[in-house]
Structure 1
Amino acid sequence: MSFMPMGVGAPVPLPKTRMGRWKASKTIVKESWRLLMLDKEILWFPVISGLVTLLVYAAVGYTYFLTVLGGNFNALETLEEKGFDIVSLVFLFVLYTLSFFVVNFFQAGIMIIARARFSGRDLGFADGIAGVASKLGKLFVWSAINATVGVILAQTASRSRMLGNIVSMLLGAAWNIMTFFSLPALVLNDVSIPGAFKESASMVRRVWGETIIVVFGVGLFFGVIVGVGIIVCFVAAGIAFEVFAAETLSVLILLGVLPLFIIIVLITASALGAIFKTALYEYASTGQIPAGFSPEIVQDAISRK
């Protein structure tokens, strides 16, 4: 059964080509990077998103610590033993809602700029923000829905440590897969929240081929980079300490260079991931290969059934 998205014609026929998962993941990163270099302002979105998210966690966490725990660190142990009460769940819901909203807002900005680039237009940072601003209401409601799911999963995990964590992890993975295309549907095609969920679920059921594997491969690619960076930094710190007796330099490498390196990789990975998700959605919803991406890559990532 073929999927005909939103009234557009059948997908562009493409040659049946395959490449290895690892090679495909590297190619995806390379092609997304090429687009990122055309719109470097995209990098500001994950940077600001990360900073605002930290502020949200600090503000909500500090408020919870003072009002619910009474500024008593020992109360944390009691909370861990007894689990979440109603007030704690409300704070958790607020934290999740605000965090999801911040992440979704800035991811949406990347998607707007990326889609414009696919059609040859050059948008700036302000254009991305302006494009998202008109969808604040829907983004907030969608974030609240995700927060509700997150709270339910957190409750499930807290009921039974081992079994609860397994069930929570599986349900969370299922939810993330089913809603994989919901954000781009909300932002790029301006559909309703129920419509975005249905469209995403329909795409997942009917056009989902190797996307999970490819997206996982991209994550693994950056994981390897982080792993190599950690090893290099620890080796460099060890050499600085043992060979040159430079204790200050060793500490600087581990507490300065290493965290900065990891942050840079995470920012880049976030930006490239949003770009590629936009490319996948563009092909899944229109049948057209986004400019700048190899046909075989996008076709293999979404194999139509």
Structure 2
Amino acid sequence: MLDHITEMRERILASFRLLCDCVRILVKDPELVLFPLMSSLAMIAVAASFLLPLRDSAWSIQTIISQSEDSLRQHLTEPITWLLVFLYYFANYFVITFFNSALVACVVVRAEGGAPTVATGLRFALSRLPQILGWSAVAGTVGTLLKFLESRSESSGRWVSSLVGFAWSLATFFVVPVMVVEKAGPLAAIRRSMAVMKDTWGELLVAGITLGPVKSIGVILCFLPFFACCLINTHAAIWFGGVVSLLTLLLALLVFATLDAIFLSALYLYATDRGVAAEFTRRQLADAFQLRAQE
């Protein structure tokens, strides 16, 4: 029992140190937060571009909600429906991958001793446009197939879709850094990502190693202004606290997304022995996985 408590404490401390290292890089380059912001705005534009033209069609959200289950299943058997689903996934994956590639490129430049800017990242992402388009097509196809599988059966389909989706996420964990640094195509990037995982940490659950509790605490803290203003018990104070908490939450989510990309980039650099940013130490990165491997 005592050993488990000690391991838990060490894991929390290791996660906190890694978070501090990520924050140091972000403090040096605060403009990195702009990449998740641009990605979010672009995704909103993508959603609007799909929803607005369809608002009066048979595929509008209002129409689908008001339909019976049989009518909805009939829609899901039409090829045009799945073509729209694929195009939507493709556009979203393109946006996400493009700006993530730009962010990762900036972290790599910083790790090599450079001073990256937003323009640096965008230029790098544009230079990887063929790889990003190819990856978006592959990821969009997989996403569409998983959604199709989920629609075939409400219970078993969702379970299988979730399981396959989780395995896919692990297999493609390092795809973006591989495309950015090694200029690999989508299929080669997937194979390389799996090799990096296997050769360095095996079948470890990399996606769940750190930062979850810290993020949860951060999100809770974002609502403190709202709760504090609720104690004043006036409409103006409550509205003010709500707006402040909402803006703080949005900023926190952008910061967390940026920290995730910084952490991913550092792990890739360590895994491929390409050097590690000065803010990270090999000991800390190795310890993060040693604790998980001892479970």
Q: CA deviation at 1:29?
A: 1.4
Structure 2 residue aligned with 1:160:
153
Structure 2 residue aligned with 1:76:
65
Alpha-carbon distance change, 233 to 89 in structure 1, aligned in 2, over 3 angstroms: farther
Match of 2:43 among 41, 53, 65: 53
What pairs with 1:69-148 in structure 2 (closer than 5 Å)? 69=59, 73-78=62-67, 82-83=72-73, 84=76, 85-148=78-141
Letter in 2 for 1:73: Q
Q: CA deviation at 1:261?
A: 1.7
C-alpha contact 1:181 1:200 (8 A) present in aligned 2: yes
Q: CA deviation at 1:205?
A: 2.1
Aligned length: 281
Alpha-carbon distance change, 186 to 277 in structure 1, aligned in 2, over 3 angstroms: same
User: Please, which runs of 5 or more residues in structure 2 have no aligned partner?
Assistant: 1-7
| Structure 2 CA distance for aligned equivalents of residues 72 and 274 of structure 1 | 33
Q: Say what the alpha-carbon RMSD is for the aligned residues.
A: 2.5
What is the DSSP-based 3-state SS (H/G/I as helix, E as strand, rest coil) of the residue aligned with 2:192? helix
What is the DSSP-based 3-state SS (H/G/I as helix, E as strand, rest coil) of the residue aligned with 1:299? helix
| Structure 2 CA distance for aligned equivalents of residues 239 and 247 of structure 1 | 11
Structure 1 residue aligned with 2:5:
none
Structure 1 residue aligned with 2:168:
175
| Structure 1 CA distance for aligned equivalents of residues 211 and 200 of structure 2 | 20
Letter in 2 for 1:20: E
Structure scoring higher RCO (CA < 8 A, sep ≥ 6) equals 1
What pairs with 1:230-249 in structure 2 (closer than 5 Å)? 230=223, 232-241=224-233, 246-249=234-237
Q: CA deviation at 1:252?
A: 3.2
Task: Note the alpha carbon deviations across 1:240-288, whole angstroms, 9 max, x for none.
Answer: 32xxxx112213322x222212211110011111111011111111263
Normalising by structure 2, we get a TM-score of 0.86
Match of 2:196 among 199, 203, 209: 203
Alpha-carbon distance change, 19 to 75 in structure 1, aligned in 2, over 3 angstroms: closer
Question: Which portions of structure 1, spanning 4 or more consecutive aligned residues, are displaced by more than 6 angstroms?
Answer: none
| Structure 1 CA distance for aligned equivalents of residues 159 and 283 of structure 2 | 36
User: Please, which runs of 5 or more residues in structure 1 have no aligned partner?
Assistant: 1-17
Letter in 1 for 2:148: Q
Structure 2 residue aligned with 1:264:
251
Normalising by structure 1, we get a TM-score of 0.84
C-alpha contact 2:170 2:206 (8 A) present in aligned 1: no
